[in-house]
A and B are shown apart, each in its own frame.
Chain A
Amino acid sequence: MLILQQLISGLMIGGIYVMVAVAFTLTIGMLNFLNFTIPALFMLAGMSAWGLTTLGVHWAAALLGGVVIATLASLIVERFTYRYMRVRYGDATEHALPLVSSLGFLIVFEHLVLIALGSDPQRFPTPFTSSDIHIGPLIIGIPQLVSLFLSLVIVYGLSQMLKHSRVGRALRSIAENPDASTLMGVNVNYIVPVVFIITGVMAGLAGMLFTVNYGDVSAYMGDNVATKAIAGMVIGGLGNIWGAIAGGLIVGLTEVMAIHFFGADIVKIPIWGLLLLILVIRPTGLFGHTTIGKGKF
């Protein structure tokens, strides 16, 4: 029964990893760009939501405000990483530039938040601290359950959007070949920001759900979650949304099981060991496309 309880909490935290991993995997699949600002966007959503509640804003409005701020920040990132390089140097992915710029933005955002809101971990005034369902000996937190469900729904909606809508088709054509899609009438400068809006919304929503579920926010809250999400994305295979879902849940389960059986200190070894092992056996991850993410830096 204890194992089953661990399984449930693994899936819950896995749901958060899934959303962040999908944000990572989209930017890689569409633009071949490992976006290191995602941990900062995740953290911005949580920290600015907390900042807004200290100003007396209602918690729900504050959470939405956090997501909006994360999305706006993502658009700023787009302006200075991908768009600029593309205009001036043709194919931005030939250089490691967007990667380096995004690391620069990660440093900027984290320290701006440190200046504005301080470095102490804070407690978000979440209204759902004691709303659990008890099924026999099992305890399931309602907000966690809702957020796992919500994250899967959002990811499903996203994949349907990519498959059927006009914008989704344009996005997939850019992933295939930016030059050919420009010739076919896709305005790359209007479509690429859509990827960054989706990234901002996904990372922001993940930060929001994390804040509601666990209640702890700090300037470094994104780093840990994002590294686990990266592990999940790589395990699932870059550029594949369903791979990111599988990978995120696998990492969540591995983490919780490792803590349960071996203690919290050792948790890095199984997760990253699993990743290395999978990469040795299948260098493209479990469901990775053979061409995505292998371009030279």
Chain B
Amino acid sequence: MSGYWAGILAILCFNIVVAYSVFLPAASGQLNLGAAGFVAIGAYTSGYLSTDVGLAMWLTIPLAALFTGAVAFLMSFPILRTRGVYMVLATFAFAEIVQGVYINLEVFGAAAGYPVDAYAGLGVIAPVALGVVVVSFFIMSTRFGLSMRAVHDDERVAALFGVNVRMTQVTAFTLGGLVAGIGGAIWAHQFNYVEIQNFNVMLSIFVLLYVLIGGTQTAFGPLVGALFFTLVPEVLRVSNDWRFVFFGVIIVMMMVVRPEGIVTRTMTERVTALLTFRRGNAAKP
């Protein structure tokens, strides 16, 4: 594999992990425009544990994830007090504060950035990304995933049917933070240098776009969205700026053609029906 494709695959793994971190809250109806904040916390925590404490990589990634999850858990209480646009902007505010804090922390090199010792490489981050995808699919197939979907569709009706709405939202938000921490940790170990400028508003916006373009209804959505957003710009390598123009036009057109995202529940049901129909036909003599 050439270095070029290895680089793209590494970015793809990171994008997929971060997309799932936004997807988990989004699947229960909370738009998170602050992914970059959680990713930054994960990246700096794992970098600190690796460089300053000297822990091995198999410890730094889960510990960074747990720490980010704990932050997300604590933040979910003030943030979940708000709703709709207010919530989008509260998460956005959180990411801005995280950026403002890290850029002033001398421990982490402030604006100059922070070096990380241990190098991960595709051999580590690809299995991690796969694990995140599998676990997310599993979560969406459990009873808890069903209550997340119910809360996403209608909070009041979900509550009437005995779903603990608040617990579902807090858990989904915390899980999202946890996964974002994993994303930050693999970024830190892959690129070996953490700069807060990489975790800016544009990252949050793009990740939210992966999820919304991919579709929030099924766990396929973020996977398809991240693939789409990572590979289409590579294909559109005309010139750097025209590439983004095409890309923006594609986003606008996508919303016109498939407003609920590329993958919807109806689509997966149709595909499943088609597959079982074929199998059924083949089984008949």
Q: Name A residues whose Cβ lies closer than 8 Å to a Cβ of B.
A: 28, 32, 34, 80-81, 84-85, 89, 95-97, 100-101, 103-108, 110-112, 114-115, 223, 227, 230-231, 234, 238, 265-269, 271-273, 275-276, 279-280, 283-285, 293-297
Contacts and interface: CB of A to CB of B under 8 A. Distances in A.
Interface in B1-54: 29, 31
Contacts of B155: 296
Nearest to A98: B255
A279 B84 contact: no
| B97, B212, B244, B252 — most chain A CB neighbours (10 Å) | B252
Given A89-B259, A279-B90, 4 more contacts: A100-B212, A101-B251, A104-B255, A294-B84
A115 B245 contact: yes
Given A100-B213, A101-B251, A108-B249, A238 B96 contact: no
Contact of B83 (A85, A230, A266, A283): A283
Contacts of A269: 97, 100-101, 104
A173 B114 CA distance: 54
Interface in B228-280: 241-242, 244-245, 247-252, 255-256, 259-260
A104 B248 contact: yes
Contacts of A268: 96-97, 99-100, 103
Given A268-B97, A272-B100, A111 B78 contact: no
A95 B152 CA distance: 12
Enumerate the 10 nearest inter-chain pairs by beta-carbon distance, A residue then B residue, closest first. A104-B251, A268-B100, A108-B248, A107-B248, A293-B85, A111-B244, A269-B100, A272-B93, A104-B252, A294-B84
Interface residues of B, number: 45
A115 B259 contact: no
A293 B84 contact: yes
Contact of B94 (A81, A276, A295, A297): A276
B205 A272 contact: no
Contacts of A95: 259-260
A272 B256 contact: no
B144 interface: no
A160 B221 CA distance: 46
B201 interface: yes
Count chain B CB atoms within 10 A of each CB in A105, A110, A276 and give the residue with the most. Answer: A276
B89 interface: yes
Contacts of B31: 96, 297
B56 interface: no
A284 B90 CA distance: 11
30 contacts: A34-B88, A81-B252, A84-B256, A96-B31, A100-B212, A105-B248, A105-B252, A108-B248, A108-B252, A110-B244, A111-B241, A111-B245, A112-B245, A115-B241, A115-B245, A223-B201, A231-B93, A265-B103, A269-B97, A269-B104, A272-B97, A273-B97, A275-B90, A279-B86, A279-B93, A283-B83, A283-B86, A293-B85, A297-B29, A297-B31
Task: Give the interface centre of B90, B93, B213 by most chain A CB atoms within 10 Å.
Answer: B93
B223 interface: no
Contact of B89 (A80, A271, A275, A294): A275
Contacts of B97: 268-269, 272-273, 276
Contacts of B85: 28, 32, 34, 238, 293-294
Contacts of A111: 241-242, 244-245, 248
A283 B213 CA distance: 29
B88 A104 contact: no
B188 interface: no
Nearest to B99: A268
Contacts of B82: 279, 283
A97 B257 CA distance: 11
B96 A80 contact: no
Interface in B55-102: 78, 81-86, 88-90, 92-94, 96-97, 99-101
A38 to B, nearest CB: 14
Given A279-B82, A283-B86, A294-B83, A104 B249 contact: yes
Contacts of A275: 89-90, 93
Given A269-B100, A272-B100, A279-B86, A100 B81 contact: no
B181 to A, nearest CB: 20
Given A112-B245, A275-B93, A283 B81 contact: yes
Given A268-B96, A279-B86, A283-B86, A103 B259 contact: no
Contacts of B86: 234, 238, 279, 283-285, 293-294
A107 B104 contact: no
A283 to B, nearest CB: 5
